[in-house]
Amino acid sequence: MIPASYHGRHNSLLRYRKHNIFMHKHISYLISLICVFSIALIVSIRCSPKEKVDPAKLIGIWNKMPDSSSQSFYNGKNCINYVLGHKQAAFDYEVMDNALIKTDRSNGEKYQYTIVKLTEDSLCLRHISSGTQLSFWRSKSSVIVQRRN
């Protein structure tokens, strides 16, 4: 025969274990949420421009990475996109603070980008509606290169 005091201790031990498992799960969820929010904060800080962009730095020929067969030529007012040296699209553009707004000359459609990085040698744009990031390197040549497949 098992004494009554044993059942009382056994039940309280079971409740204690259930409570610990319950608390452990909640603490794990809380830690996961903190990690996700921390990563999101770090990414948003690293990808946010710190100062206004100098539009003059954009002027020139930019080769898309990783495949340089796509090039964009910026002249201060217009942007022309080339693929393998053949004109694909023409845009009017303006730089406002840290945003690049391109208007397609053929249909008037607007494309908005956040300028994530703009240096003498590299350009990184993030398309505002899709979040797609585009990276470019500045061409040393002043001529659009025609390439053959």
* 61, 38: one domain: no
91-116: pLDDT as tens digits: 999 999 899 999 999 999 999 999 99
Among the listed residues 23, 16, 135, 17, the one whose alpha carbon sits nearest the alpha carbon of residue 72: 135
CATH of the domain at 64: 2.40.128.280
Average pLDDT, the chain: 81
Answer with the residue of higher pLDDT: 145 or 80: 80
Number of compact structural domains in the chain? 2
Provide the whole-model pTM: 0.62
pLDDT for position 49: 47
Phi, psi at 61, each rounded to 5°: -105, 130
Let me know: does 126 contact 135? Beta carbons within 8 Å.
Answer: no
Give the other-Cβ count within 10 Å of 80's Cβ. 17
**Domain of 28, in residue numbers:** 1-46
Alpha helices per DSSP H over 1-149: 4-46
Spell 96-134 as b/e; 16+ CB within 10 A means b: eebebebeeeeeeeebebbbbebeeeebbbbeeeeeeeb
Give every CB contact of residue 58 below 8 A, 6+ residues apart in sequence: 74, 95, 100, 118, 123
If asked whether residues 65 and 124 sit together in one domain, one would say yes
Please report which confidence band the pLDDT of residue 44 belongs to, taking 50, 70 and 90 as the band edges.
Answer: low
Side chain identity at 144, as an amino acid letter? Answer: I
61 shares its domain with 116 = yes
Do 61 and 125 belong together in one domain? yes
